Amino acid sequence: MPNKVLVVEDEANLLVALEYNLKSEGYNVFTAEDGETGLALARQEKPDLVILDVMLPNLDGFEVCRILRRESDVRILMLTARGEEIDRVVGLELGADDYVTKPFSNRELMARVRNMIRRSDSDDGASASTDAETLASGDLIVDLTGHTVKLQDKPLDVKPREFSLLALLVANKGRAFTRDQILERLWGHDYIGDTRTVDVHIRWLREKIEPDPASPQRITTIRGVGYRFDG
Ligand code: CA
């Protein structure tokens, strides 16, 4: 079964080019030119990846992202305008997994798409595995098989990327990772991104696992280096 990709983009030329290029790569492609149609298609077709422009008629990309994220863990790649730093940060805070800044090359975009689809496939593989493996640190339990996290026996709502980040840190307790190392491990080596992506995800995790996120005890910031899980 080819992976399904939904593209929501209101610039007709770009939409046609994206559709053509994605089809050439063997994806099953669905397209929409406004946010409302995009959202309806996402619900109907349950794609593996949504490529979502920010500026869209009807519902904008942020709104579509926010709604989709409440309903599913589908991978979301946002298309942002050049220099719109705020778009990237807002997009990531709303739960987008990645973003590409316009204008982008077809090669760059396809690399990103392949990377994201590969990750979502391997996530599925991990959940289907029967080898139970758990990482525990005090009252924090990370279940690598079920992709779940419990704190004081209560399940936490963590997104797939947050889960991978937490699992990486807990599995390497006491070891400091640079932001670049974390980006490479979690987002792939061809990710051309911004290390603040890592900071945003660390902040979300802290809000979930730290008794006082303002003075973190579990995930510590190592000045000039990055982050370390301390227990
Ligand atoms: Ca647009």
Distances (CA, A) of 180 to 8, 40, 99, 131, 164: 30, 37, 17, 30, 15
**Whether pTM exceeds 0.85:** no
Could you say which of 61, 95, 121 is where a domain stops? 121
Centre of ligand 1 from the C-alpha of residue 167, in Å: 36
- Residue 139 and residue 98 share a domain: no
- Residue 169 and residue 89 share a domain: no
Helix (H) or strand (E) holding 172: none
Q: How many domains does the chain have?
A: 2
Q: What is the pLDDT of residue 126?
A: 42
pLDDT over 80 at 79, yes or no: yes
Centre of ligand 1 from the C-alpha of residue 11, in Å: 6
Centre of ligand 1 from the C-alpha of residue 112, in Å: 20
For 102, phi and psi rounded to 5 degrees? -80, 145
Residue 198: give its domain's CATH number: 1.10.10.10
Centre of ligand 1 from the C-alpha of residue 33, in Å: 9
121: confidence class by pLDDT, cuts 50, 70, 90 = low
**CA-CA-CA-CA torsion sign (119, 2, 59, 43):** negative
Centre of ligand 1 from the C-alpha of residue 101, in Å: 12
Centre of ligand 1 from the C-alpha of residue 80, in Å: 9
- Condensed to tens digits (0 to 9), the pLDDT of residues 6-40 reads 999 999 999 999 999 999 999 999 999 999 999 99
Query: Could you tell me the residue range of the domain that residue 211 belongs to?
Result: 134-229
- Residue 109 and residue 42 share a domain: yes
- 127 is a domain residue: no
- Residue 186 and residue 79 share a domain: no
